[in-house]
Amino acid sequence: MFGESFVTMTMLAGTLVTGDGGAAASGQDNTSPREIDVAYDAYIEAFNSGDRAVYRDFVAEWFDNEGQVAEADIEAFSGGMLDVYRRLGPVEVRSVELDLETTQEAWVTGEFTGGQSLLLVQIGSDGSLSALADTSGLRAGRSANRLEEVTPESLSQTLDPYFERLVEEDLFSGGAWIAMGGEIVYSFSGGPRDRRTDETINADTLFNPASIGKMMTATVVLSLIEEGVLDLQDPIGKWIPKYPEPWASKITIEHLLTHTSGIELDDDDTCMAALAEARSIGEMIALQVAHVERVLALATFDPGGRFNYTNEGYVLLGGIAEVASGSDFEDLLRERVFEPAGMVRTIPRRELGGLENVAVPHSIVRNRRNGTYFETVSPLVDTDFGHSWLASPVTVPASPVYATGADLIRFLSALAHGKLVSAELVEAMFTPHVLRSDEEAYGLREDQGLGVKVVQEHGVHSIGHDGGVPGFRAKLYYYPDNDMTILTWSNSEGANATAHQHMEDLTAVRTN
């Protein structure tokens, strides 16, 4: 069946309609729509309702022509439809890429969000739906023209109505920020801070930027490298002597920073459940030591060989920084990141308890054990036993802080301008070290630097990181060609990524 995300396309009277209103070429008489056209028509009618009850009815009817669909499948597929509706909202078809008797694929664009995706739909011999798939995160091109002048006034005139509409349609709640030359020139905050109350998000609301914090952990490590305390080529066994071989002597700090260590334990339920009980970085590392030999296969061990995203590597970096410096990780963050960057309201996760004006996540969550999607609102979203370390009170170096939007802008601007580590180290940090993904057909290439993602997409160069845990999404990127930083964050998942793309389209310098 289909994967973790879905997209839709618009049908009128069973005929696929392009963005300019013309019917897609199918070689068929438009008065006799094909079964694939009828399926699209029913799908889009259900999708545009934005109503999960309607989605359930659609799945029950269309994924089996006799209506015999397992309840778990109905919940999984309807939840997936709702997840995509919150990312894109209602959509329009822009171009048809593939048009066969049982398969259609087309680019779609969100009516309110501007987000794009490529959707494939297949039907079986009996006319029921057999597969849905989409290219979440990829797009055909820029969805908006760059502003003639990027000024605080032009940004407010263009972006305020955009975000206000997304909040009104319940497609976004969170914040958006733009800085140029290190100075904030635009900000927006809106939507519910906690859906159980009437409180709304404001500029001082704390939120969880998740893996964006990996850039802070990398900055701490690089500052120790600058002082000669650490070296990129230090093997992890130098600082964690109990780590088993061959990992201890073969994996270096550089491998950890670039996600090329091969240490990845997130899919092991036993290890993840134990991590939920850890109360310090040292305890988390001790659990790695206890489980790594059981989980990882030596036959495929190839440090530095390829990119493999890992949270465990950044836990090791935080532990190494503590051992090498003799300081707690929270103190290292304050002294080497928060204070020199001028961050005034960023809190290590361990110190979050009791604070006010903290965003509460609202999530459409996929449980990886049974595929079901369900909706939840809670301060600590523990929706999947295998990832319950997310609720840990430890300041986990893979996701160490809660922050405000302004503080995150200050952080990346300060880093890019050499205020946290030397310009030489910033250059090394922002230089591609290993390929993350190459989607040339979609104008996108992503590389990994030292703790950052290096992106080239449709002529725009950026450096930064994404963050995502159940209920929170964030994107923080620096654009060197016009010395600009953009942040979007959301406590309802939804259209965060598409909103960030829209802001980028309006402001970023394009080189082609």
Q: Tell me: domain 215-340, CATH 3.40.710.10, correct?
A: yes
pLDDT at 23: 37
Cα–Cα distance measured from residue 62 to residue 305, given in angstroms and rounded to the nearest whole number: 45
Answer yes or no: is pLDDT of 37 > 90.
no
- Sign, CA dihedral 113-192-151-212, equals negative
Cβ-contact 358, 206 below 8 angstroms: yes
Residue span(s) of the chain under CATH 3.40.710.10 come to: 152-211+348-359+398-507, 215-340
The whole-number pLDDT of residue 379 equals: 47
Examine the pLDDT at 457 and tell me if it is beyond 90: yes
First and final C-alpha spacing in the chain: 38
Q: pLDDT band for position 214 (50/70/90)?
A: very high
Could you give the CA distance from residue 254 to residue 250 in angstroms, rounded to a whole number?
A: 11
Considering only residues 121 and 214, tell me which one the structure prediction assigns the higher pLDDT.
214
Name the residue among 270, 378, 253 with its Cα closest to residue 318.
Answer: 253
Please state which CATH number belongs to domain 152-211+348-359+398-507.
3.40.710.10
- 11-134 has which CATH code? 3.10.450
Which residues fall within 8 angstroms of residue 265, CB to CB, at 6 or more apart? 271, 272, 288, 291, 292, 295, 296, 312
46 pLDDT higher than 90:
no
Q: Could you report the per-residue pLDDT of 478-493, keeping only the tens digit for each?
A: 999 999 999 999 998 8
Phi, psi of 168 (to 5 degrees): -60, -40
The predicted pLDDT at position 342 comes to 98
Q: What would the two tokens of residue 157 be?
A: 């005139």
Asked whether the predicted pLDDT for residue 387 surpasses 60, the reply is no
pLDDT bracket for residue 376 (50, 70, 90)? low
Residue 211 has a pLDDT of 96
Model pLDDT for residues 426-446, shown as the tens digit of each residue: 999 999 999 999 998 889 999
Q: Considering the chain, what is the average pLDDT of its residues?
A: 86
CATH 3.10.450 domain residues, the chain: 11-134
Which among 223, 177, 187 has a CA at the least distance from the CA of 477? 177
Cα 342 from Cα 337, distance rounded (Å): 8
* pTM flag (> 0.85): yes
**Backbone torsion region of residue 100, taken as left when φ is above 0, otherwise alpha when ψ lies between -120 and 50, otherwise beta:** beta
Mean pLDDT of 143-170: 95
Strands (E), 398-469: 401-403, 434-439, 444-448, 453-457, 460-469
pLDDT of residue 383: 41
Give the pLDDT band (50/70/90) at residue 41: confident
* CA-based radius of gyration for the chain: 23
